[in-house]
């Protein structure tokens, strides 16, 4: 029976469960499905929302940008210290804590 016909007959949740069981029985991503079947079901049952997706993407981008900026500050701090700058000066320039600078 086609998956989409099954959705019409039994509903989305049951159709997804059937698809997961089918994958497990036919060795399609079997190990993954054994470990993550509940999570897969939950994700597929969640309504997709464009605004939520954009918000998550924005947050991920911000985290990546902040981490990259932190790494660049550490490089600047290392360079300033190697040129004889004091840790206090480096803190003032980079905004890093003295603990971060001393490490």
What does the pLDDT look like over 6-54, one tens digit per residue?
Answer: 556 667 778 778 887 888 788 887 788 788 888 887 877 777 678 888 9
**What is residue 1's predicted lDDT score, i.e. its pLDDT?**
44
Domain of residue 63, residue span: 50-102
How many domains does the chain contain in total? 2
Contacts of 74 by beta carbon, 8 Å cutoff, 6+ apart: 96, 100
Average pLDDT over residues 67-74: 96
Predicted TM-score (pTM) of this structure: 0.49
pLDDT tops 70 at residue 2 = no
Average pLDDT over residues 65-90: 96
From 45, 19, 12, select the one nearest 33 (Cα to Cα): 19
pLDDT tops 90 at residue 85 = yes
**Mean pLDDT over each residue of the chain, to the nearest integer:** 85
Whether 62 and 91 share a structural domain: yes
Average pLDDT over residues 77-94: 96
Whether 59 and 87 share a structural domain: yes
Whether 70 and 89 share a structural domain: yes
Whether 55 and 41 share a structural domain: no
């Amino acid at each position: 029976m086609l998956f989409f016909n099954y959705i019409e007959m039994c509903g989305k949740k049951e159709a997804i469960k059937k698809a997961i069981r089918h994958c497990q029985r036919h060795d399609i991503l079997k190990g993954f499905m054994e470990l993550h079947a509940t999570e897969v079901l939950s994700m597929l049952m969640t309504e997709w929302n464009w605004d939520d997706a954009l918000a998550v993407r924005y947050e991920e981008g911000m985290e990546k940008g902040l981490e990259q900026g932190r790494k660049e500050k550490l490089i600047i701090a290392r360079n300033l210290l190697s040129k004889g700058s004091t840790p206090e000066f480096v803190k003032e320039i980079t905004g890093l804590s003295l603990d971060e600078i001393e490490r």
